[in-house]
Structure 1
Amino acid sequence: MSDLEHTPSPFVAGLPIGAELPLPPVAEWDIFPFEGDLRVRPLDRPVLPEPPRHGEDGPENCDQCNRADQEFLWTDEHWRLTGLREPSGLPAVVLLMPRGHHDLADLPAGRAAELGPMLQRVERALHALGGIARVHVDKLGDGAAHLHLWFSARPEGMLQLRGSYLSTWDDILPPIPVADWQANGRVIAAAMAAEGGTAHV
């Protein structure tokens, strides 16, 4: 790549790198998880080119591609659903990914057409746990090149956990008991399998 391709965009070039920044208005929201004296970290300079994401060099080096179906909660011909490796603070956090090594931009047309119904299906499976008010869906992708969509279950009545900080609360709350986490995984897998595919727990 040329130096020109590694030059920060005008947006990045205009950011206040290294400057002291004020707390955002969200610090006053009732869902903000923190209180007390907080400071915003200064912005670092851009790293260009960015380091490659995991699996960016192809499926042979992708952890998700190389996992056996039995390591997932549920699979079918084109999609796989996995839980986290260990319990976290929410009743359930699961990730949906295509079997093939694709990111969203290069997802084949057939898989893209299935994605909307699959989003609905996974949300229904998390609601099958009972006591779930909302299911949050996120697509991040900064860590791995294999498309993975996050689904996080917010318990009913926990209004502080609403909105954009649900994943932060998931890191803050004590992990649920392992037996409950495993039982929840079985419920989700069975709900997915009721509409096709195979449950593996």
Structure 2
Amino acid sequence: MLHSRDPYDMAGLPDETAAQLGVLTTHIVRHAQALPHISRAHVHRIGDGAAHQDIWFFARPKGQAQLYGSWLPVWDDLLPDYPADVVDSDAAAVAGAPITSYGGRHSL
């Protein structure tokens, strides 16, 4: 999940911030899809009812059927357990370079 430092909704993002969000989102997706066991990374915007937004990234493991619509967020409940050592390694690979390159910080 990607959180902004300032409380903007998508429609209220200043152009410069919107441009950074686009580039950062693309970099996160590239890093996630570069992992050897990930087929696809999906991006969702969630944040109704408040002046903030959360950008969610869902990675579909290789060998898993593509899911559509509201099924994307429930993958966690349906897929086999994701080994803790792989979770930590993947999080470091994806959250590290693309986030910090834009002056952000990640918390794992």
Residues 155-177 of structure 1 show CA distances to partners (whole Å, capped at 9, x for unaligned) of: 12211x43222222223334422
Which of the pair is proportionally richer in helix?
2
Structure-2 change in CA distance of 1:97 and 1:182 (3 Å)? same
Partner of 2:78: 172
Query: Which of residues 13, 38, 41 is equivalent to 1:107?
Result: 13
Gaps spanning 5+ residues in structure 2: where? Answer: none
Change (3 A) 1:145 1:174: farther
TM-score (structure 2 length as normaliser): 0.76
Q: Secondary structure at the match of 1:135?
A: strand
Flag the structure with more relative contact order, 1 or 2, with Cα contacts below 8 A and sequence separation at least 6: 2
1: CA distance between counterparts of 2:104 and 2:3?
Answer: 15
* In structure 2, distance between residues paired with 1:99 and 1:193: 13
Structure 1 length as normaliser, TM-score?
0.45
State how far apart, in whole Å, the 2-side matches of 1:194 and 1:127 are: 19
Structure showing greater radius of gyration is 1
Match of 2:55 in 1: 149
1:162 has 2:87 as partner: no
Q: Conserved in 1, the CA contact under 8 Å of 2:24 and 2:99?
A: no
How many residue pairs get aligned? The number is 106
- Of 189, 195, 200, the match for 2:95: 189
Q: What letter is aligned with 1:180? A: V
Quote the residue 2:46 is aligned against.
140
Listed one character per residue, the Cα deviations across residues 88-131 of structure 1 (whole Å, up to 9, x for unaligned) are: xxxxxxx1222112111221221012222122111012123222
For residues 22-33 of structure 1, the aligned pairs below 5 Å read none
Identity %: 38
Decide whether the 8 Å contact of 2:24 with 2:98 is kept in 1.
no
